[in-house]
Amino acid sequence: MKTALEILDAIRRGEATVYEVVSTFLETIEEKESIHNAFINIYPEEALERAVRLDEERPEHLPPLYGLPVAVKDNIAVRGMELTCASRILLGFESPYSATVVKRLERAGAIILGKTNMDEFAMGSTNENSYFGPARNAIDPDYVAGGSSGGSAVAVALGEAPVSLGSDTGGSIRQPAAFNGIVGLKPTYGRISRYGLVSFASSLDQIGPMGRTVEDVALVYSVIAGYDPKDSTSADVPVEPFSEYLNDPQDMTIGVDMGILGEADEEIVRGFYEVIAFLRSEGYRIREVEIPYFRYSVPVYHIVASSEASSNLARYDGVRYGYRAEAEHLEEMYYRTRTEGFGQEVKRRILVGTFSLSYGYKNEYYLRASRIRRLMKEGVLGLLDEVDVILVPSVPVFPWKIGEHPDLIGKVYKADYYTIFANLTGIPALSIPVGGGKFPVSVQLMGRHFDEKSLFRLGRRIFHAFNII
């Protein structure tokens, strides 16, 4: 399989037309979708029509993603395409506008192939919580793909798309990237516009790119990052050009918290130590640190995220759009619509969030979690004054078989143990595969706000030391 950069180079050199490139990926989708279920909706006619136009209108100076096919998670709006969030409650809803990230991709010459499978409303770590059935792991379809951006990860890993977009609220890009052996970025909060992303937990959600290499992810990031006046949480901070991300990393100090490794499988810990040994051999300083309040990440996350979800999902009532249950009066219609329209995991989180915000419990749960979250952020900012990046595993466990339904706290929620902290503190994090057995080991780099550049530079060095592309 060719990387995104190799595909773009072939188009620029005239070795392949855009139509040929798009046709090849559509053929791969047709071949593999019946097994892996990575897409909810595919738009072949629209993709081929755009490919023909790009070939006919080919300008002298091609924009950075000219002719590159992209898969988009189905909680990101694309005008004229169905937007379901993998939920029954939004069946048939066609988006009247495109998200800012989609507009930026298309202005750069990209072609949207379709919308990828996901856990319903991005709530889950397996992609089993989809109304359309689970996306299946690209390495072994009997195993979970990870979530919630499971379809986006599987599509890239199978070669159904060279790159994809996902969203990350507690690890939903990095965890499925790790489960499928690809690269995934959760950017700094405010770095990439959330306009057009269906909200799950607004203070945590971020859109990010997924790809087979660090360079591919960095290229897409360089196109979609930047200030957007349509998003009130967007930060007006300059974005470096793509060429800046390809430089070799300079002298760096890397922080490692050995105290959190006890949560990970032995093989993952061994792979993690191999990465540390490589970095030491390359002359980087490894400093043992303690990531502040890290062990509280999972409970704090589930209180904050569920509380925000309870508020955000109140809009799905059957009145304005989406699924509406038949009923004799309004109150019954509300009740039946939400009961029939939402899946079990979504209803569970709405109930947890409503309880956490309720009178008499808000101080005990939501406000206490918010205070701990503030301490986390203050602590990690102090830590990142002492080290350049923090290195942790991406996930503590390998994928398990679809349908095993392990205990939520014991395995499913635990799968996000290493990823949640970056969402709670708003810092960027990059997941990188580093080899292994049947399922790859992945490590994660976390860095300073708006310093994705350092993550790409060091991540690229690590990626090419452990992967042959």
39-63 residue pLDDT tens: 999 999 999 999 999 999 999 999 9
Tokens for 323, please give them.
Answer: 């699924």
| Structural domain containing residue 95 | 4-247+436-442
Per-residue model confidence (pLDDT) at position 345: 94
Neighbours of 60 (CB within 10 A): 4
**Domain tally for the chain?**
1
Alpha-helix residue ranges (DSSP H) falling in 37-110: 44-56, 100-107
Report if residue 32 sits inside a domain: yes
Separation between Cα atoms, residue 149 and residue 394, nearest integer Å? 15
- pLDDT category at 409 given cuts 50, 70, 90 is low
> One-letter amino acid identity for 405?
H
Question: Which three-class secondary structure string do you get for the chain?
Answer: CCCHHHHHHHHHHCCCCHHHHHHHHHHHHHHHHHHHCCEEEECHHHHHHHHHHHHHCCCCCCCCCCCCEEEEECCECCCCCECCCCCHHHCCCECCCCCHHHHHHHHCCCEEEEEECCCHHHCCCCCCCCCCCCCECCCCCCEECCCCCHHHHHHHHHCCCCEEEEEECCCCCHHHHHHHCCEEEECCCCCECCCCECCCCCCCCEEEEEECCHHHHHHHHHHHECCCCCCCCCCCCCCCCHHHHHCCCCCCEEEECHHHHHHCCHHHHHHHHHHHHHHHHCCCEEEECCCCCHHHHHHHHHHHHHHHHHHHHHHCCCCCCCCCCCCCCHHHHHHHHHHHHCCHHHHHHHHHHHHHHCCCCCHHHHHHHHHHHHHHHHHHHHHCCCCCEEEEECCCCCCCECCCCCCHHHHHHHHHCCCHHHHHHCCCEEEEEEEECCCEEEEEEEECCCCHHHHHHHHHHHHHHHCCC
Separation between Cα atoms, residue 401 and residue 265, nearest integer Å? 16
Alpha-helix residue ranges (DSSP H) falling in 41-191: 44-56, 100-107, 150-158, 174-180
Residue 338 in this model has a pLDDT that exceeds 80: yes
Of the candidates 29, 21, 42, 114, the one whose C-alpha atom is nearest the C-alpha of residue 76 is 114
pLDDT in tens, 161-198: 999 999 999 999 999 999 999 999 999 999 999 999 99
Per-residue model confidence (pLDDT) at position 250: 85
pLDDT cut 70: percent of the chain above it: 99
Residue 204 in this model has a pLDDT that exceeds 70: yes
Report if residue 262 sits inside a domain: no
DSSP state letters, 260-280: GGGGS-HHHHHHHHHHHHHHH
Neighbours of 159 (CB within 10 A): 17
Per-residue model confidence (pLDDT) at position 260: 97
Of the candidates 162, 143, 164, 140, the one whose C-alpha atom is nearest the C-alpha of residue 73 is 164
DSSP state letters, 328-347: SSHHHHHHHHHHHHS-HHHH
pLDDT in tens, 11-26: 999 999 999 999 999 9
Does 172 participate in catalysis according to the annotation?
yes
- pLDDT category at 417 given cuts 50, 70, 90 is very high
Mean pLDDT across 221-237: 98
- pLDDT category at 1 given cuts 50, 70, 90 is confident
Catalytic residue among 32, 73, 115, 453: 73
Does 401 participate in catalysis according to the annotation?
no
CA distances from 111 to 26, 98, 145, 422 (A): 12, 13, 24, 30
Tokens for 31, please give them.
Answer: 């071949």
Report if residue 180 sits inside a domain: yes
Mean pLDDT across 252-278: 97
Catalytic residue among 95, 98, 125, 148: 148
Separation between Cα atoms, residue 256 and residue 289, nearest integer Å? 6
Report if residue 95 sits inside a domain: yes
Report if residue 229 sits inside a domain: yes
Residue 422 in this model has a pLDDT that exceeds 80: yes
Residue 412 in this model has a pLDDT that exceeds 90: no
Catalytic residue among 130, 164, 167, 172: 172
Separation between Cα atoms, residue 165 and residue 149, nearest integer Å? 8
Mean pLDDT across 130-140: 98
Per-residue model confidence (pLDDT) at position 436: 82
Residue 411 in this model has a pLDDT that exceeds 80: no
Does 73 participate in catalysis according to the annotation?
yes
Report if residue 186 sits inside a domain: yes
Residue 408 in this model has a pLDDT that exceeds 80: no
Task: Please answer whether residues 25 and 113 qualify as being in contact, where contact means their C-beta atoms are separated by less than 8 angstroms.
Answer: yes
**Which CATH number do you get for residue 219?**
3.90.1300.10
Report if residue 47 sits inside a domain: yes
Report if residue 98 sits inside a domain: yes
- pLDDT category at 406 given cuts 50, 70, 90 is low
Residue 335 in this model has a pLDDT that exceeds 90: yes
- pLDDT category at 321 given cuts 50, 70, 90 is confident
Mean pLDDT across 202-223: 98
Separation between Cα atoms, residue 118 and residue 351, nearest integer Å? 21
| Mean pLDDT of the residues in the chain | 96
